[in-house]
Amino acid sequence: MRLLEHQCKRLLAKHGIPFSEPLIVSTPEAAEAAFSQINGPVVMKAQVPFGGRGKAGAIRMIDSGAEAREHAADLLGKELRGFLVSAISLEPKISFEREYYAGIAWDLRLRQPVAIFNRAGGVEVESEASLAVKRAFDPRTPLTPFQGRELAEEGGLSGKELVLVGSLLSALSKAFLELDAIILEINPLVITKEGKLLCLDAHVELDDDAAFRLKDALQDLGEIPVTSGGRTPTPIEEEAARIDARDHRGVAGRVVEFPGDLALLIGGGGASLTVFDAVLRHGGKPANYCEIGGNPTAEKVAALTELLLSKPGVSQLAVIMNVVNNTRADIMAQGVIDGIRAAGKEPSEVLSVFRIPGSWEDEAVALLAANGVTALGREISLDAAAALAVKQSLSSPSC
Amino acid sequence: MLISSEDKILVQGITGREASEMVAEALAYGSQIVAGVTPGKGGHSVHGVPVYDTVKAAVAAHQPTVSVISVPAAGVLDAALESFANGIQLCLIMSERIPRKDTACLVAAARESGCTVVGPNTLGLIRPGVAKLGTIGGRVDNVRKSFLPGKTAILSRSGGMTTEIASFLTSRGIGQSIAIGVGGDPIIGSNFTDLLRLLEGDLTTESVVIYGEPGGTAEEELADYLNANPSRLRINAFLSGRFVDDMEGVRFGHAAVMVEGGRGSVKGKAECLRAAGVHVAERFDDILEGLS
């Protein structure tokens, strides 16, 4: 779950982290009104769920009501890195003395969270990455204020700023653990003219797998954007996610659309990658990536099959899995056949390759044979099965 | 290594649907499952295996040293801590979609208690002809068809690909000393490096096939380890998901599979593994090279 900037700010403010307060609008008229309300120079930001917004053109400096309206009209409805902008924030431009970076992330090698501080913040954080200092900590206990101060000292701070940043790092590490965060970044973190610490921007991603215990924390933040790699999902991708959500059994909703004409139903997790690579290497043009695995019901498999075949231009489907363990090959076969028929097509004409050896294989082979399809066995490797699917798709006319 | 035919096995969450099916197949393959635990279901039995309310009671009655955990994601951390507190030596966690923080907490606790953790998000591990833990191989007829005793170890980030690789090796007469699905999550209890250290000391193993994917740091870490500690083993690796390299920030397949900020690409992983002396197969079918 990647949150929008104003959601990050509200969430972290509840954890005692000092933020500037934004006004959120979704029309150019409201942007102009917000400008007059603030009554001074304004920073306008498109609300998008990724970091590096300055570089993406999502941040604008505004000096008049007319400019506010003009820039709002430009940003609203625009796609930034594939994400459709539907809200923008306005807040007073803050004059500050210095800007820093502070963040918490996971160090996968250490298998621990790590706090990061860089005294070169803002847009310089990447070019001055060598100034960053890090400290890993136990996932069961956040950093104490003194550990935060040690990190601030190592990062080159002294005096009052060292004390302020030390406490902030401690609070951030606590929020990171309590919120089941994957990443939590404050950039810039500024020292104002009055010597106060203020966070101007935040980027937060929370763990999808912890959603079951984050309901209370997220309840008054408004709608969390649904993204697929930061971009807005396509209708077919959205429908696949709905099909998956209707029934918890089996992994079956991860569809990513591609511009080709060969529909793919592939799995499990690793074999889907292997097969997709092989299809591309053999010159195939996939219409989609769609992973399937675990123990899905025949209904779920049928619904996905029908969905994949509904894409315009798609005339063939290849179903390829590794030698299956806990997935039942016969249930997969039944679902695929039902889905093809539901799409008003004949299995023997649409299904170019069906290769699911392993548990319940004999039953699957018999079922397919009764529907005019010859299943491939384990002696045909994943690579060879992909090559065959590509060969068939290139020789068949698209509809 | 890790498991012998004498080891007694406990299953936490034994009354669940998937766990119960797994128990039937593992017993048929010869694994010594002696007890199960589901809090509140003590006194029941599953395929003849007695069920207890606590690991403490199951350990007192049967002395298992290995535990397989298959409980809902929200209960995994507690179940793992319960097994560590009761002296379990090897804990295999099948459950998936566990919050990353919980995995990190249980890994930290396992280090303190000296328990080896495999997973989470693994289908299991098998020593062909000896025993298996988890659903790896599925139905027992498929397990016998796919796995053959021998001298090649398989370490895989994908459970499905573990069986696919084993089946492919078996069809060419190459047997396996052990096959381990290490788990598909970004943080796991035993990564390639941890397991390779164990394989170095396992004299039945002469070669290793590694299956890697984009994302995470497991392959890079292994390369660093091999650069510092040259191995006696022939190591072949196959890396899938090359197309993911061009699709920053999009997740495919397992939870760990994502390339971000240029980190975790297959290209980068292949380069550092090759530099460390690993034979990286271009196509899946090339994983056989140099194995006997």
Summarize pLDDT for B30-54 with one digit per residue, the tens.
999 999 999 999 999 999 999 999 9
Q: Do domains B1-122 and B147-292 have the same CATH topology?
A: yes
Q: Does B267 touch chain A (CB under 8 A)?
A: no
Q: What is B1-122's CATH number?
A: 3.40.50.720
Q: What is B147-292's CATH number?
A: 3.40.50.261
Predicted ipTM > 0.85:
yes
Between B100, B211, B283, which is nearest A182 by CB? B100
At B284, list the tokens. 């899946």
At A205, list the tokens. 């991603």
Between A228, A270, A358, which is nearest B240 by CB? A270
Please state the domain extents for chain A: 21-92, 96-218, 235-395
Residue A136 pLDDT class (50, 70, 90 cuts): very high
CB atoms within 10 A of CB B88: 25
Cis status of the peptide bond prior to A235, with omega within 30 of 0: no
Contact call for A269 and B254, based on CB within 8 A: yes
Q: Does B260 touch chain A (CB under 8 A)?
A: no
Contact call for B213 and A270, based on CB within 8 A: yes
Q: Does B286 touch chain A (CB under 8 A)?
A: no
Q: Does B161 touch chain A (CB under 8 A)?
A: yes
Residues of chain B positioned with their CB less than 8 A from the CB of A270: 156-161, 184, 211, 213, 240, 253-254
B-contacting residues in A 92-111 (Cβ below 8 Å) = 106, 108-109, 111
Between A23-37, A72-86, A306-320, B65-79, the lowest mean confidence (pLDDT) is in A72-86
Alpha-carbon distance B80 to nearest alpha carbon in chain A (angstroms): 15
Q: Does A228 touch chain B (CB under 8 A)?
A: yes
Give me the CATH topology for the region A235-395.
Answer: Rossmann fold (3.40.50)
Tell me the percentage of chain A whose pLDDT exceeds 70.
Answer: 98
Instruction: Choose the mutation target among A109, A274, A282, A382 for the interface with B, i.e. most B CBs under 10 Å.
Output: A274
Decide if pLDDT at B254 tops 80. yes
Catalytic residues of B: 254
Please state the domain extents for chain B: 1-122, 147-292
- The answer to whether the beta carbons of residues A272 and A266 sit under 8 Å apart is yes
| DSSP assignments along A121-178, one per residue | -GGGGTTTGGG-EEEE--TTSPPPHHHHHHHHHHTT--HHHHHHHHHHHHHHHHHHHH
Q: Does A258 touch chain B (CB under 8 A)?
A: no
Instruction: Choose the mutation target among A289, A323, A332 for the interface with B, i.e. most B CBs under 10 Å.
Output: A323
Dist CA A152 CA A131 (whole Å): 12
Between A50, A207, A273, which is nearest B257 by CB? A273
Instruction: Choose the mutation target among A179, A326, A379 for the interface with B, i.e. most B CBs under 10 Å.
Output: A326
| DSSP assignments along A292-351, one per residue | -BSS--HHHHHHHHHHHHTSTT--EEEEEE-SBSSS-HHHHHHHHHHHHHHTT--HHHHE
Q: What is the pLDDT of residue B256?
A: 80
Highest mean pLDDT among A144-153, A244-253, A294-303, B138-147: A144-153
- What does the pLDDT look like over B63-87, one tens digit per residue? 999 999 999 999 999 999 999 999 9
Contact call for A273 and B160, based on CB within 8 A: no
Contact call for B186 and A108, based on CB within 8 A: yes
Between B105, B164, B252, which is nearest A323 by CB? B164
Q: What is A21-92's CATH number?
A: 3.30.1490.20
Which runs of E-coded beta strand occur in chain B?
A: 9-12, 33-37, 45-46, 49-52, 66-69, 90-93, 116-118, 124-127, 131-134, 149-156, 176-181, 207-212, 234-239, 279-281
- What does the pLDDT look like over B156-184, one tens digit per residue? 999 999 999 999 999 999 999 999 999 99
- The answer to whether the beta carbons of residues B27 and B68 sit under 8 Å apart is no
Residues of chain A positioned with their CB less than 8 A from the CB of B166: 323
Between A111, A254, A274, which is nearest B284 by CB? A274
Residue for token pair 């820039």: A71
Highest mean pLDDT among A71-85, B70-84, B235-249, B259-273: B70-84
Residues of chain B positioned with their CB less than 8 A from the CB of A113: 104
Cis status of the peptide bond prior to B149, with omega within 30 of 0: no
Q: What is A96-218's CATH number?
A: 3.30.470.20
